[in-house]
Amino acid sequence: DAGVIQSPRHEVTEMGQEVTLRCKPISGHNSLFWYRQTMMRGLELLIYFNNNVPIDDSGMPEDRFSAKMPNASFSTLKIQPSEPRDSAVYFCATPTGTGYGYTFGSGTRLTVV
């Protein structure tokens, strides 16, 4: 298994542009989590899905952020329009198994200028 795969690894965009981050979770696991990490706030849970259904999106900062999981093997996090304060590393993660925590993707480093 290739683990959790995220793309792109790096994204630099101008303020106001739409940004789409992608995640392919570990197959066979039915939960997926999107996190954002900044120096100031650490790792923040944005949203998580169970069986492709959003369970808790209370961490999504505002309406500019949206996430989808159309099937068990793919999820997107979209920011429209992007702002400089959205600059962060965005991780997706799936549970490794009961009692074994998460496996993270390598993250997308987003810079909005």
Binding-site member from 41, 53, 70, 71 for other proteins (CB under 8 A): 41
**Length of the chain in terms of residues written:** 113
Please tell me the distance from the alpha carbon of residue 107 to that of residue 10, in angstroms, as a whole number.
8
Local structure of 84: helix, strand or coil = helix
Local structure of 73: helix, strand or coil = coil
Asked if 87 touches other proteins (CB under 8 A), the answer is no
Asked if 106 touches other proteins (CB under 8 A), the answer is yes
Asked if 56 touches other proteins (CB under 8 A), the answer is yes
Please tell me the distance from the alpha carbon of residue 98 to that of residue 101, in angstroms, as a whole number.
7
Binding-site member from 31, 52, 66, 76 for other proteins (CB under 8 A): 31
Q: Could you list the residues that contact other proteins (CB under 8 A)?
A: 31, 33, 35, 41-43, 45, 48, 50, 56, 91, 95-96, 99-107, 109
